[in-house]
């Protein structure tokens, strides 16, 4: 059994799936949770029992989420130890509850968790979602600002959106890599040498009209300056120019 990733952070939201039917949806939910650092999954009366055949294949390595999943007979049982519960729904329910987008909802969740509260998020059945009675057990509703012409979200997609917003709200949304230069800026000596190599090659190729050479050279140098080249950039251009010079000499 794989171990869940460990971070010294406050408690994380509990994801509660109510009567999920398809193994692939549960597996992809586990994958979405693991993508953004969630690990606690509760299953309320999954259709066809548990575990389900094929569920691990769609989890894409998030087996620690599946291995730690707990079974519950009812929603009331699944949320009994929680301090705050949110219900996801795509439909207006006529209930006097706060309705939040996932970003606002997860900011409030992160604040509650900093205070030590345990929070759970209810996700309903693939076809019909949560019942009105199940929604009534929640403190507030999460809904998504989808295009009304195509408002249906897959179960795992809903979990993914909420998990992503939670990670942002919790201050954990650090990009795994950046475009930072790995080579230091080229020193002036290297740039001047490159200018000389390039201009010499162009002179030999007859590129510059004699009366325009000065202005064209300055334009080329300004263009190269704007590139803010690194040492690696200069080495690469030198290599390219040398290869072109050899090719020209062999002809």
The length of the chain is 251
pLDDT of residue 67: 94
Mean pLDDT of the chain: 89
d(CA 162, CA 111): 15
Enclosing H/E stretch for 216: helix 213-226
**What is 79-145 written as a DSSP string?**
TTT-SEEEEE-SS------EEE-HHHHHHHHHHHHHTT--EEEEE-BTTTB--HHHHTTSSEEE---
What is the dihedral sign for C-alpha 143, 147, 152, 158? Answer: negative
| CB-based contacts of 120, cutoff 8 Å, min separation 6 | 13, 14, 15, 16, 42, 78, 79, 82, 84, 85, 86
How wide is the angle at C-alpha 68 spanned by C-alphas 62 and 71, nearest 5°?
120
pTM across the whole model: 0.74
Q: Which residue has the higher pLDDT, 209 or 5?
A: 209
Render pLDDT for 98-149 as a digit per residue (tens, 0 to 9): 999 999 999 999 999 989 999 999 999 988 899 999 999 999 999 999 988 8
pLDDT of residue 250: 67
The whole-angstrom distance between residue 72's C-alpha and the CA centroid of its chain comes to 30
Cross-strand partners of 72: 44
pLDDT of residue 152: 83
pLDDT of residue 9: 54
Angle in degrees, 0-180, between the axes of helices 155-169 and 102-114, rounded to the nearest 10: 50
Q: How many CB atoms lie within 10 A of CB 81?
A: 9
Q: How many CB atoms lie within 10 A of CB 102?
A: 24
d(CA 189, CA 34): 50
Q: Above 60 in pLDDT, residue 1? A: no
């Amino acid at each position: 059994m794989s171990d869940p990733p460990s971070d010294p952070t406050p408690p994380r939201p509990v994801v509660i799936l109510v009567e999920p039917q398809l193994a692939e949806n549960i597996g992809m939910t586990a994958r979405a949770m693991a993508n953004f650092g969630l690990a606690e999954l509760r299953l309320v009366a999954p259709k066809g029992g548990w575990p389900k055949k094929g569920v691990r294949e769609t989890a894409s390595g998030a087996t620690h989420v599946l291995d730690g999943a707990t079974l519950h007979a009812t929603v009331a049982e699944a949320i009994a130890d929680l301090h705050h519960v949110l219900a996801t729904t795509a439909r207006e329910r006529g209930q006097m509850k706060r309705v939040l987008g996932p970003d606002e909802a997860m900011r409030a969740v992160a604040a509650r968790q900093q205070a030590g509260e345990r929070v759970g998020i209810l996700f309903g059945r693939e076809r019909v979602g949560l019942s009105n009675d199940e929604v009534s057990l929640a403190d507030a509703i999460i809904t998504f600002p989808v295009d009304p012409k195509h408002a249906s979200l897959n179960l795992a997609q809903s979990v993914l959106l909420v998990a992503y917003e939670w990670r942002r709200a919790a201050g954990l949304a650090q990009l795994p890599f950046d475009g930072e230069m790995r080579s230091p800026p080229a020193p002036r000596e290297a740039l001047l040498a490159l200018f000389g190599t390039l201009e010499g090659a162009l002179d030999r190729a007859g590129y510059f009209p004699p009366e325009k050479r000065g202005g064209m050279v300055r334009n080329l140098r300004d263009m190269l300056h704007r590139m803010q080249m690194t040492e690696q950039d200069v080495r690469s251009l030198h290599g390219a120019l040398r290869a072109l010079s050899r090719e020209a000499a062999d002809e």
